[in-house]
Each structure stands twice: as structure tokens, then as C-alpha cells.
Amino acid sequence: MNILLVGSGGREHALAWKIAASPLVTRLVAAPGNPGMAAQAELRDVPATDVPALVELAREIAADLVVIGPESAVAAGLADAVTAAGFPCFGPTAQAGQLESSKAFTKAFCDRYGLPTSAYAVCESAEAARRALDRFEPPYVVKADGLAAGKGVVIAPTRAEAEAAIDDAFGGRFGAAGARVVLEEFLEGEIGSLFALCDGKDSMVFGWAQDHKRAFDGEQGPNTGGMGTYSPAPVFTPELVEQVRTRLVEPAFAGIAADGAPYRGALFVELMATAAGPKLVEFNVRFGDPECQVLMLRLESDLVPYLVACAQGRLAEMAPPKWRDESAVCVVVAAKGYPDKPSAGGEIRGADADFGPDVVVLHAGTKRDAGGVLRAAGGRVLNVCAVGPTLREARDKAYAAVDAIDFPDGFCRRDIGWRALR
Ligand code: GLY
């Protein structure tokens, strides 16, 4: 099979690593990919949102499957265009993608189809949002409505900070994504990330993990796209998984199909396990980043048949995936200043070393300069991942590799997995 994989982050490197291991694959092309992905895929310098050029690339390589990594490509209508051009595609249409591209859409969707989520207010102006704060208690949750690369969420302990976050969003900090703001009730409980696949009609749960959203140890600092993950996560008891499946996953797939946009691809349910059961925090219309990294390390089954089955409407023929019994951990190494102003261009040495069979170093935001030196080129730069018989052993291996990599401009959290290890 010839596969076109779209995207350039750690999630896509994890997908490339797993797809390339499949005996079904003869050619894997990544667009635009990253320097780490060059070990698994042929790289083509086509941006993930250049839809016409990606359709052309699918044609050129006679793609048997197009796999969409990032939400920006979903929102750009890539699945619609490659499907119209006759290529099987793993990834939802732009219409189904509204489950991520608009938080206001998703809240109304939850109301329409009875999915449990937090109370909210959609605000079209800073004045309206300031007034609406009266209906909430601190800490205030202020979200830009649109796609903001994981940076559009502020948890504000005080009203003054909430008002500043509102002014920031309406002041253009997130561009068009902040033209509308959603205020939400703060949910108490433990956070979790559960994944499900859907082929337009049938669906299956496809693993779970726990992310760490704050930038610094001890859940301090600003919200990020995610600083590290581990899987399995004990918060996901069989009972919770079943509740998430029946109360969130299945109603979401049924609802979006009833809206006229049957879902094909991975749905990422970010949820809070509250005393009243799971409540939706957000849907994302792709694998999580860095959740995908630990899922791919733990996935024993070949990934490719699942991706193809989603694209071809044959998921009902697939057995549930097999997972390794081990734990997997992913430590995100970010550039200093992330998420606000990550320092660019810092030199990275030793990321390509052989850390043994249990450690995988994935590239998330890197580039090679003209002299071949590896440098930071993004907020989240490397994903240092490891598996081990226990979470503690996996974590120790990951941190040993982190410590062996020389990246003076980087930082990471040192407490990934703390909830499970406490
Ligand atoms: N880890 C959160 C996300 O992928 O958005």
C-alpha cells in the first residue's frame, strides 16, 4: 500500500513510526513531515493545509490511503477534497470537524443530543463575556471558540484574570479563533483522554491515556497543548470506559451522522471524570498530541488495517485492538518560553542516539539547518517516549533519555504520571 500521511508534529511522527512497521506498507510519504520522520517516510514539503497540493500528491503517489494528522487539515477540508478525488481517507470532513473547530458548535451539539458537559455561555463581545462572568464561580474557564493550537484555554483563578483573558481573546491574540469566546463552568475531577474510531456508522473504543496540560510541575503555569502522557491511566476503570462509550462516544457519532456529517476517523474525547460521571471537556477530531505517542507505543496490533477499515466503512469486521501489557510514557521537551514565546533555533544534540529498544525519541518541532544541525522549530520540540513493565520503570527510562539529550534551550515537566504514582 502507498500511504500519504499529513502533518509534521509528534503525533504524526508516532503515526509514521507505527505505520512504517506494518508489513502492508510499501511506500509512506509524509507531508510536510519533520526531520525525525525521515527515518520512516519520504518527506514532501507540502503544508498540511494546502489542500489542492495534497490532492495532487495523493494522485502522484497513487495513494491507497490518506491519513490526516492535525485538526488544521481537517478544518481546511482535506478529507472532503481527497475523498471527492477518489482516495480513501482516514479523517473527518470539515463539517464533522466542527466538533473541534468551534467550541460553541460543540456545546450546542451536546445540548441537542444530550451529551453531559459543563454549563457554558457563548459570548460575541468582550462586554457580553464580562457580564456573563456573573453566572460562573472562580476559577473561570475562558476559551477561544476556534482552533488555537492548544493555547486558547485559560483557567483564571480570579475575575480580574478572567477579564484579562477575555480582553486578550477579543483583542486578537488568537486571531479569528478568538472572535467568539466560550465561558465554562470549571469541572472538578480527574482529566482523561479516550479515543474512538468510526467508519461513518460503526465505531470502537481505541485506547486511553492521561495528559498533563499545565506547563510546569505540580499543575502550575499556563495551559499548553500537553506536556506529557502515560497509558494506561488508572482513572479509566472499565466502568468509566463504558460510561464514556455510551454517554459520549456513541451519542457523538450518532448525532454528527444525524446532522448529515457521518464521522470517519479518530475522535478524541477529553473528559473530566466527575462525581456525577464523565463530562465532556472537549472533542478533538484527530488523535491527541501527545496521547497518540503512548497509544502507538502500546499498540500491539497493526494500525494500518484499522485506518483502512475506517476509510472504507469496514470497522465492523475488525476485532478490538491488542495492547501491550506494559505502560508507556511520553515526556514532552519544549523550547523555553513555551507556550507563550518559545525560543526558536536552539541546538539539540544526541536526540538520534540509540537508547535501547524500549525508548523512542519522536520529533515534534525540529528542523535541520543548512549544516545538518538539529534545531528547535516549534513550542513542543521532542517527545521522549518509553515503555516498561510498570509506569515507574517506563518513566525512569524516558527521563534517563531526556537527561542524555543535550538541548540547553529546552525544558520538560519532571512529574509525568504523578496521579498514578502518588
Ligand atoms: N493533548 C491534547 C491535544 O491533543 O489537544
Decide whether any atom of ligand 1 lies within 6 Å of the 228 Cβ.
no
25, 52, 60, 192, 319 from 63: Cα distances, Å: 11, 15, 8, 34, 25
Please, are residues 184 and 118 in contact by the beta-carbon 8 Å criterion? yes
CATH assignment of 190-317, among 3.40.190.10, 3.30.470.20, 2.40.50.140, 3.20.20.120: 3.30.470.20
Say how many Å lie between the CA of residue 26 and the centre of ligand 1: 30
Sequence-distant (≥ 6) Cβ neighbours of residue 137 within 8 angstroms? 185, 186
Q: Which residue has the cell 521537551?
A: 333
10-residue mean pLDDT series, the chain (422 residues): 98 98 98 98 98 98 98 97 98 97 94 96 94 95 88 91 94 87 94 98 98 96 95 97 98 98 98 96 97 98 98 98 98 97 97 97 98 97 98 98 98 97 92
Say how many Å lie between the CA of residue 291 and the centre of ligand 1: 7
| Top mutation candidate among 11, 230, 267, 268 for ligand 1, by most atoms within 8 Å of CB | 268
| Top mutation candidate among 72, 153, 211 for ligand 1, by most atoms within 8 Å of CB | 211
Decide whether any atom of ligand 1 lies within 6 Å of the 70 Cβ.
no
Structure confidence at residue 125 (pLDDT): 94
Taking the CA of residue 286 as reference, the ligand 1 atom at the shortest distance is 4
Name the DSSP class of 349: B
Structure confidence at residue 6 (pLDDT): 98
Decide whether any atom of ligand 1 lies within 6 Å of the 91 Cβ.
no
Decide whether any atom of ligand 1 lies within 6 Å of the 365 Cβ.
no
| Top mutation candidate among 284, 330, 380 for ligand 1, by most atoms within 8 Å of CB | 284
Q: What is the pTM of this model?
A: 0.95
Structure confidence at residue 385 (pLDDT): 98
Measured distance CA(373)–CA(417) in Å, rounded: 32
Q: What DSSP string describes 20-87?
A: HT-TT-SEEEEEE--GGGGGTSEE----TT-HHHHHHHHHHTT-SEEEE-SHHHHHTTHHHHHHHTT-
User: Which run of H or E residues covers position 377?
Assistant: none
CATH numeric code, 119-184: 3.30.1490.20
Structure confidence at residue 149 (pLDDT): 79
CATH 3.40.50.11720 for the 2-94 domain, yes or no:
no
User: What pairing do the DSSP bridges indicate for beta strands 327-335 and 277-284?
Assistant: unpaired
Decide whether any atom of ligand 1 lies within 6 Å of the 139 Cβ.
no
SS3 (DSSP) at 282:
strand
Decide whether any atom of ligand 1 lies within 6 Å of the 100 Cβ.
no
CATH assignment of 327-421, among 1.10.260.40, 1.10.287.3510, 1.10.1040.10, 3.90.600.10: 3.90.600.10
